Structure 1
Amino acid sequence: MFTIKETKQDSLNLIKLQNIKNNSFARISLNEGGRLENLQFKGVSIIEDQPNFNYKNGYSSAILFPFANRIEDGKYTYKNKEYQFKSNEPKSKNALHGLVFNKEFKILEKEITSNSASVSIYYSEKNDCKSFPFKYSLYATYTLLEEELQLKITVKNDDSTSFPFVLGWHPYFNCDNFKNSFLNFKSNKKIIFDNNLITKEIVAHKTASKFEIANKQLDDCFVLKDNIVQFSTPKYKLELSSTAKENFLQLYSPKDKPIIAIEPMTGISNSFNNKIGLQELEAKKTYALTWGVKFL
């Protein structure tokens, strides 16, 4: 039996998709960029907020648009015009993680079927923004199925001119046993960063078929050969997929936290300048992709 429930907690508007039959649920925070605040599958906690690691600093499960990761010094040029994003990364002048992670999303539609529960939410930018002076709407549809959570993102260009964009997602997955947990993904290229985590180059890199995460302080990015990343822990196994044509994977493990960020992206650090993965959306057009978290 699937249900949808709207709740309020600590001044946050939340919406919960639940499968009562198998004790699974997904909870979305509308005030915090429409992020996935909590995910549980068959009673096992997959995603949850961590003590002393608040959303403002960790961006847990943030939807990243119009850019993912970083833009060097917040500067970029589009159609021969220079723009400046506000710096929001401590200890650097970089712009970090886009513009919608702290926006308030509204509910567009809810639907319950015999095998799913879904909610569509949206944010529309109608104000003038000097750093990204384009009108757009961002729609996010979360669908909880028997064995999977899907997140479909649709970007609509509401403006009279095109704009550049990249999409990303920043979920942290619970992992209290790094020694016996590992990733599987196909890649033979890795992004090399400078000291401020800005892309320097892409190099050939042989990635082990079983990517171990124990004793590593990860902040690494890879070019994926396909759209599948698998993650295995002693408590659960999952498969993260994407319908995007070009896929990149950012991995990040915060120090002394039982979590790991496994971030699918359509572009990389400083993509507004190096153009890697950067796309353009023409006026009045839409772009859509779906990320899936399938439980194995």
Structure 2
Amino acid sequence: MTSSATPDASIPSGFQTYATGRQYELRRGDALAVVTELAAGLRLYSRADVQLTETYGDAEISPGAAGITLAPWANRVEDGVWYLDGKKQQLDITEVSRNNASHGLLRNSAYTLVDESQYSVTLEATVFPQHGYPFLVRHRVQYLLAEDLGLEVRQTLINDSNAPAPFVLGAHPYLRLGEADVDQLTLTVAADTRLVAD
């Protein structure tokens, strides 16, 4: 049996598709950020042509989940098991080699455009109730190139359920400073609380 794919007639002529969906390019001064439709990811961030995050080509998937946003949990849930009001919840195992549910439910989901301007883009995706996470929530992510050319990222979880929904939001930016050896750099975060993972 032979089959062949034919171009989708609904895609406008000249429209480019990418492995991570639509690419939203933000420019301000010498700052450039490229945000992806898939996982509301940050594919590239640079200032004066100095890469500040690990990047990858537009025809590639994100290596090691570089740049993706994480919702409704970050990190890993061992064996995919957690408890809600004493009742066991079983998430799908998405990291088979470690038997974990990894990095939330939206890492392979397309986000829809909510708002776009010259210097910012806001994307949103919905998590529908399912086994392991019985809540209806929307994850909204805004990227903004600020006046000082820094990149601001705001994440919000909107609970459309009839009950409180536990959540953690995270990001996977893979920071760098040009060609500097990351093992020689120190990142300092002004935080009041530190949560140690299992």
Q: Name the TM-score class by shorter chain.
A: 0.7 to 0.9
Q: Aligned residue for 2:129?
A: 128
Supply the distance in 1 between the matched residues of 2:125 and 2:136 (Cα, whole angstroms). 11
**RMSD across aligned positions (CA):** 2.4
Which structure has more RCO (C-alpha within 8 Å, separation ≥ 6)?
Answer: 2
Is residue 2:192 matched to residue 1:183?
no
Q: Aligned residue for 1:242?
A: none
Superimposed CA distance per residue, residues 216-250 of structure 1 (whole angstroms, 9 cap, x where no aligned partner)? xxxxxxxx7x33xxxxxxxxxxxxxxxxx64x4xx
Q: Indicate the percent of aligned positions where both proteins have the same amino acid.
A: 23
Among 166, 169, 179, which residue is 1:167 paired with?
Answer: 169
AA in 2 matched with 1:45: Q
Supply the distance in 1 between the matched residues of 2:175 and 2:16 (Cα, whole angstroms). 24
Aligned pair count reads: 179
Return the TM-score normalized by structure 1.
0.55
Supply the distance in 1 between the matched residues of 2:102 and 2:152 (Cα, whole angstroms). 25
Is residue 2:36 matched to residue 1:29?
yes
Is residue 2:151 matched to residue 1:149?
yes
Q: Aligned residue for 1:10?
A: 18
| Equivalent residues of 1:71, 1:269 under 8 A apart | no
User: Which structure's residues are more often strand, by fraction?
Assistant: 1
Among 50, 54, 64, which residue is 1:58 paired with?
Answer: 64
Supply the distance in 2 between the matched residues of 1:128 and 1:35 (Cα, whole angstroms). 23
AA in 2 matched with 1:167: L
Gaps of at least 5 residues in structure 2 are 1-14
Residue 71 of structure 1, CA deviation = 0.8
Return the TM-score normalized by structure 2.
0.80
Supply the distance in 1 between the matched residues of 2:79 and 2:166 (Cα, whole angstroms). 18
Q: Residues 61 and 268 (structure 1 numbering): CA distance in 2 closer, same or farther, change over 3 Å?
A: farther
Supply the distance in 2 between the matched residues of 1:108 and 1:133 (Cα, whole angstroms). 25
Residue 23 of structure 1, CA deviation = 2.6
Residue 8 of structure 1, CA deviation = 3.8
Supply the distance in 2 between the matched residues of 1:180 and 1:93 (Cα, whole angstroms). 29
AA in 2 matched with 1:93: N
AA in 2 matched with 1:24: A
| Equivalent residues of 1:33, 1:100 under 8 A apart | yes
Q: Aligned residue for 1:43?
A: 49
